[in-house]
Amino acid sequence: MKLNKILLPFVALLVACDSGDIYPEKKKIEEMNLRVNAVFEFNNETAFPQNYRIVWGAFVGTSPYPLAFEIVAKPDGKETTHYVSTSIPRIATFMALALVEKNENKARYFFKKFPLDNVSGEMNISETVDLAAFERVQAQVFTPQCILCHGGGGFAAGLDLTEGKAYNNLVGVPSHPDNSPKNRVTKGSLQNSFLLDVLVDRPPTVTTNHTTLSTLDAIDDINLIRTWIMAEN
């Protein structure tokens, strides 16, 4: 297999000294004595985002913002993507491949996390990443964009899209009888998944227009749902 070698050390974060000096010195953040070699192969590539981004980065604790990161480029065909990371901030607690929001680097979903406790020297990672995992659909689309009306406050059309419930409310489940004879989701069939009709076509039976939900990304959210419906997971 051909390795697409990208040998980019992380850009070290620089902070200005807060001493009130007229010529504040730039101070380099302390780094770990660690070199991480990571090789990723991506499955279900049609769900690779255009507007959201995927980053490979170093994170701390529960913060969704990476301390240092590189943007992951869309892989071509079956090639693997190879990262060599040095200059990892000492305070980092894990490395992760994360889906980040469109306008800032806030992680919405972690594809893979790798703890950094008690590691030094060299760490080797080789993983296959499923771009269309249902957990990603939940974290990218349902939890932030749908549960206001389909969970918490109420369950419009009897549909619960909260974490842990969404899958069993969708897959193989008939739509509300007034809305459509189709299942909400029929795995392996875009034609027979009313979820897509609601989000893309604005069926007249559904009173709320979902195609203009302000947060919905017409490219990435819809591609992800399509790819997940067709994927074997």
**Given candidates 119, 149, 190, 222, which one binds ligand HEC under the rule CB under 6 A?**
149
Q: Is 131 in the site for ligand HEC (CB under 6 A)?
A: no
Minimum CB distance to ligand HEC smaller for 99 or for 198: 198
Minimum CB distance to ligand HEC smaller for 38 or for 146: 146
Query: 124: Cβ–Cβ under 8 A, 6 or more apart, which residues?
Result: 36, 37, 38
Q: Is 150 in the site for ligand HEC (CB under 6 A)?
A: yes
Q: Is 141 in the site for ligand HEC (CB under 6 A)?
A: yes
Report in angstroms how near the CB of residue 193 gets to ligand HEC at its nearest. Answer: 9
| 226, two tokens | 């399509």
Query: 133: Cβ–Cβ under 8 A, 6 or more apart, which residues?
Result: 111, 228, 233
Q: Is 148 in the site for ligand HEC (CB under 6 A)?
A: yes
Report in angstroms how near the CB of residue 74 gets to ligand HEC at its nearest. Answer: 24
Query: 136: Cβ–Cβ under 8 A, 6 or more apart, which residues?
Result: 47, 99, 109, 111, 224, 228
How many CB atoms within 10 Å of residue 74? 11
Query: 83: Cβ–Cβ under 8 A, 6 or more apart, which residues?
Result: 6, 8, 36, 37, 38, 39, 40, 56, 70
User: Could you tell me which stretch among 50-58, 78-86, 124-132, 209-217 binds ligand HEC (CB under 6 A)?
Assistant: 209-217
Q: How far apart are CA 76 and CA 61, in angstroms?
A: 33
- The interface with ligand HEC within residues 166-205 (CB under 6 A) comprises 175-176, 179, 184, 194-195, 198-199
Report in angstroms how near the CB of residue 174 gets to ligand HEC at its nearest. Answer: 7
Q: Which residues bind ligand HEC (CB under 6 A)?
A: 141, 145-146, 148-150, 156-157, 159, 175-176, 179, 184, 194-195, 198-199, 206-208, 210, 213, 216
